[in-house]
Amino acid sequence: MASCPVSHGKSNALASLVSDNPRYDELFNMKKQSANTGVDMSKDYTDDMNALRDSAAVHKGSLRELLGVPEMPGMHGPERESYTFLSYRACEVGFRENLVFSSEGYNESAGVRTIGKTILSMVGKPHKRLRSAAQPLFKRPKVLDWWNKRWIQETVDALLDRIQDQDAVDLNSELCALLPMATVTRAIGLEGANVIEFRYQLDRATFGARSLPPEEAAASRAWIDTTLRDLIAENTRQPGDNLISGLIDAEILDEDTGDKRPLTEDEIFGYCKLAIFAGGGTTWRQLGITIDALMNHTHFWDAAVKERGLLDQAVEEGLRWRATDPVFPRLCMEDTEVEGVLVPAGARVHMCLGAANHDPAIFKNPESYDIFRDKSHQMGFGFGPHRCLGMDVARQEMIVAISGLMDRFPNMRFDPDLPKPVYRGLDHRGMSAVTVKLK
């Protein structure tokens, strides 16, 4: 199967971004997110999760089971006894003690397995070695001096140019969905229409494969693999200014010899696929959530228009208040007591950070969105050794996007002529829309 052509023209990439494409609705419609299968999309489950936490820090059963939501067949693998951690303390233990509550549980998900070897499902020294090889590419200095100048600011400008003369828009489709997808896909070296096509094919090859005929999912996997192999080969011959070249140059300590070695092709594959899923999906929804929070609290919006340093706090509080991914899975490796409950070895653990981030034992007035809140460690990006590798990239995308809106549309408000956007979903939460009057 031939791979997609690889183009390096910035103008082609940005022209593609601001064009109408039917792929967008398939990729970025909250009701079509496969992780929300079986979820009542007319409901916000925050109060239900809080009620579970208030009744007990740890419950037997999966979060879906406890909330009365149907389980997704094949989502987590074989049948196991399940426990859900809901208090801040319980989730903190689950995140920090990664050898006891192992990320290897991700390997039981068919969608994660198709991504290949990644840091997502590794623990201990192998995880630390592989993560450390790429971590410098995602840390704050590199984000500000490279990601921002190379992709983020340019993409924000192009997307806002498109809506500059409009009176009212849905920012979910015009900005929130497009920015992170374009940033991370262009970062691996793709441009033009391939920015959208790669994300579409990757979704069909992995988590979306459950609803496809096997031959269609296999064709998408072949498309992705061929495209990435061509990109790796091209950047090996002629290094580019992109993430793949950075990964090719990275070194890892070999656990057998103790010597440094380059990343394998499979390890580079895994990083690219994981970056696109994590960066293209979660940041899209979290950006919409943060804009919605500021539109619901316009005094904070107006304050940040005058003092842009407040945007860091606005983003952090959005991650605490409404984390887009409120539950992370783990596999319990040994009998362990957590908050007075014995969790047996072999049990699947669901860490409900959505409830932990609202724990009144940690956060004062936790149901309020307050950008002046005393700083506490919110769990929106996870916690401990598996805290999100790309969190600084995600933060910068959200800050630059919202600051760009404030520069051009300082008086932006909800569109009074349309129904107010609603916050929906369970495993993947986000806004039904982000409909605003720009001027």
Structural contact between residues 311 and 304, judged by C-beta atoms closer than 8 angstroms: yes
Comparing CA positions, the residue from 248, 252, 250 lying closest to residue 261 is: 252
Q: 311-347, pLDDT tens digit by residue?
A: 999 999 999 999 999 999 999 999 999 999 999 999 9
Comparing CA positions, the residue from 266, 265, 277, 267 lying closest to residue 206 is: 277
Report the distance separating Cα 8 and Cα 55, nearest Å. Answer: 55
Q: Does the residue 2 lie in any domain? A: no
pLDDT band at 9 (very low <50, low <70, confident <90, very high): very low
Q: Does the residue 257 lie in any domain? A: yes
Identify which has the larger pLDDT, 239 or 278: 239
Give me the number of domains the chain comprises: 1
Please state which of the ranges 82-91, 186-195, 306-315, 357-366 shows the lowest mean pLDDT: 186-195
Residue range(s) defining the domain that contains residue 259: 10-437
Structural contact between residues 49 and 351, judged by C-beta atoms closer than 8 angstroms: no
pLDDT at position 137 over 70 = yes
Q: Does the residue 108 lie in any domain? A: yes
pLDDT at position 3 over 60 = no
Q: 30-73, pLDDT tens digit by residue?
A: 666 666 778 888 889 999 999 999 999 999 999 999 999 998 76
pLDDT at position 118 over 90 = no
Query: What's the pLDDT score for residue 7?
Result: 37
Identify which has the larger pLDDT, 115 or 425: 425
Q: 407-419, pLDDT tens digit by residue?
A: 999 999 999 999 9
Q: Does the residue 3 lie in any domain? A: no
Q: Does the residue 179 lie in any domain? A: yes
DSSP state of 211: G
Q: Does the residue 189 lie in any domain? A: yes
Please state which of the ranges 100-104, 208-212, 215-219, 350-354 shows the lowest mean pLDDT: 208-212
pTM: 0.92
Q: Does the residue 334 lie in any domain? A: yes
Please state which of the ranges 97-106, 200-209, 287-296 shows the lowest mean pLDDT: 200-209
Pairing type for strands 327-332 and 348-352 reads: antiparallel
Query: What's the pLDDT score for residue 414?
Result: 97
Query: What's the pLDDT score for residue 77?
Result: 67
Mean pLDDT of the chain: 89
Write the CB contacts of 54 (distance below 8 Å, at least 6 apart in sequence).
none
Q: 200-247, pLDDT tens digit by residue?
A: 888 888 777 777 898 998 999 899 889 988 999 999 999 999 999 999
Comparing CA positions, the residue from 414, 345, 435, 377 lying closest to residue 96 is: 377
pLDDT at position 4 over 70 = no
Q: Does the residue 73 lie in any domain? A: yes
Identify the CATH number of the domain in which residue 95 sits.
1.10.630.10
pLDDT at position 25 over 90 = no
Q: Can you read off the two tokens belonging to residue 200?
A: 């579409």
